[in-house]
């Protein structure tokens, strides 16, 4: 991977006013983006954002930086991340910029990018943007400055796109659905999508004020959704995160249906209708139950590193169309170019319509296996990769996997933000899972 100074696994993110997440840096970032992604007179870049209050400030800074580089801006206002990917393509823009910190609280914000074809930027392109950030900023002559234009029908365009990902004949009549918009970017589009398909919709967390995004709601905190489904005797609930690329569902009994179960439901429906190309991509954290359930259906399964960009890379490598993460990032490449919460939820609803089964019944095809995670503190200066490759640690992992005899697995993973090694064990027998997790953790501790 190309070394990057500012970009993380999903753009640039942090607390507003600290580090790079300040107006001065974002202005320079807009200019650098214009220089790298949108060279040439008349070039356009799409800018969208979620609902956090700092988005207005950073929208203006990006617009100014792009203009200084001679690049025009198409301003979408608050829109889901996948909508920005879609509109970048349909508006024939050179790139798309999303101002969002996804599932984080409002004091944070971030910037992520899409190329002109609606996919995330390769590492080498991000590295080139960083190279320009460290250069002196130069403004083009006044006659070549970029202009800004607000796209007033962005929401309507995206709503029609979402509906087009399911058959024209599909109706949700008779379904009562609670929709949790996380006080985020889906608040003005998701309810309309489901209503226009004839569902009876109950909205929660759909009144953003700039400060309440992801606050005790949304895909990362589905408790309120579960409660609302039970209280309203709804058929199911759908929760998005702040920027709308993540999805978690709740069945009619108030039970959470996570990304692994959603992926299984969609994969089985695709298989039954001849639309599954190849297998399914999950991540190192995908539950073993997903892999085993897909195996019973004859569906191949491959794991990528954690992160939707790595799921996407593995899908492209294999030529497959369906992948996702336990957290609810689901990618349907036959429908769109990136993870899309609304589009993914529609595929689950289509599976319900096709089968005549409830969400609770559909998820029964996959049995999630017990999983235990132990965080082992290590010296901040320790070589994490060397520690995980240690002979004693490797032996302990091998012994555990042999004992579980194909009915369990072990994953050692360094934390990206803390001095920790995460020891994860999952399998059919919870007692064995706990026993092996504790044993491996003790061996890791002994090497620190």
Half-sphere exposure of 361 (CA within 13 A, CB side): 9
In this structure, the strands spanning 72-78 and 256-257 are unpaired
Judged on CB neighbours under 10 Å (0-12, 13-18, 19+), 415 is: middle
- Give the three-class secondary structure for 120: strand
Catalytic site residue from 64, 100, 102, 344: 102
Q: CB neighbours of 333 closer than 8 A, spacing ≥ 6?
A: 315, 320, 321, 322, 323
C-alpha pair distances (Å), 100 with each of 50, 74, 196: 6, 17, 27
Residues in the chain: 448
Residue 329's CB is within 10 A of a number of other CB atoms, namely 28
Q: CB neighbours of 405 closer than 8 A, spacing ≥ 6?
A: none
Strands (E), 200-329: 200-204, 236-240, 247-250, 256-257, 280-283, 301-304, 322-324
Distance CA 409, CA 407 (A): 7
- The closest of 158, 60, 48 to 100, measured between CA atoms, is 48
Q: Any catalytic annotation for residue 102?
A: yes
- The closest of 214, 155, 220 to 188, measured between CA atoms, is 155
C-alpha pair distances (Å), 28 with each of 31, 63, 236, 268, 291: 5, 11, 45, 47, 45
Q: Which two tokens stand for residue 134?
A: 């460290």
Q: Calculate ∠ Cα 361-364-368, nearest 5°.
A: 150
Distance CA 68, CA 38 (A): 12
Helices 55-68 and 23-37 pack at an angle, to 10 degrees, of 40
In this structure, the strands spanning 72-78 and 44-49 are parallel
Catalytically annotated residues:
102
């Amino acid at each position: 991977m190309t070394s990057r100074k500012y970009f993380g696994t999903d753009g640039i993110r942090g607390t507003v006013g600290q580090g790079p997440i300040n107006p001065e840096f974002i202005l320079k970032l807009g200019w650098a983006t214009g220089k790298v992604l949108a060279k040439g007179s008349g070039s356009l870049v799409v800018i969208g954002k979620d609902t956090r209050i700092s988005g207005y400030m950073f929208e203006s800074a990006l617009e100014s930086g792009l203009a200084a580089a001679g690049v025009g801006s198409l301003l979408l206002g608050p829109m889901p991340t996948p909508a920005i990917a879609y509109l970048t393509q349909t508006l024939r823009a050179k790139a798309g910029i999303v101002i969002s910190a996804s599932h984080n609280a409002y004091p944070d914000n971030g910037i992520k990018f899409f190329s002109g074809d609606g996919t995330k930027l390769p590492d080498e392109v991000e590295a080139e943007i960083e190279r320009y950030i460290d250069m002196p900023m130069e403004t083009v002559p006044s006659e070549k400055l970029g202009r800004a234009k607000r796209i007033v029908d962005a929401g309507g365009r995206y709503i029609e796109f979402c509906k087009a990902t399911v058959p024209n004949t599909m109706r949700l009549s008779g379904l009562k659905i609670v929709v949790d918009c996380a006080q985020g970017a889906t608040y003005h589009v998701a309810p309309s999508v489901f209503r226009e398909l004839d569902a009876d919709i109950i909205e929660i967390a759909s009144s953003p004020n700039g400060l309440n995004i992801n606050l005790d709601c949304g895909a990362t905190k589905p408790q309120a959704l579960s409660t609302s489904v039970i209280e309203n005797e709804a058929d199911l609930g759908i929760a998005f995160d702040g920027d709308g690329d993540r999805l978690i569902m709740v069945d009619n009994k108030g039970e959470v249906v996570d990304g692994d179960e959603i992926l299984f439901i969609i994969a089985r429906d695709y298989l039954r209708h001849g639309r599954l190309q190849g297998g399914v991509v999950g991540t190192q954290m995908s539950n073993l139950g997903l892999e085993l359930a897909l195996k019973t259906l004859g569906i191949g399964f491959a794991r990528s590193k954690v992160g939707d960009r790595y799921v996407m890379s593995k899908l492209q490598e294999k030529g497959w169309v369906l992948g996702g993460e336990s957290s609810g990032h689901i990618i349907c490449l036959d429908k769109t170019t990136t993870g899309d919460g609304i589009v993914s939820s529609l595929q689950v609803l289509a599976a319900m319509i096709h089968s005549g089964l409830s969400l609770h019944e559909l998820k029964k095809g996959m049995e999630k296996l017990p999983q235990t995670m132990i965080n082992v503190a290590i010296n901040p200066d320790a070589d994490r990769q060397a520690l995980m490759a240690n002979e004693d640690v490797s032996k302990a992992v091998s012994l555990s996997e042999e004992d579980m005899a194909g009915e369990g697995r072990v994953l050692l993973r360094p934390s990206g933000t803390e001095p920790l090694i995460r020891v994860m064990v999952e399998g059919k027998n919870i007692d064995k899972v706990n026993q092996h997790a504790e044993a491996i953790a003790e061996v890791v501790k002994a090497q620190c």
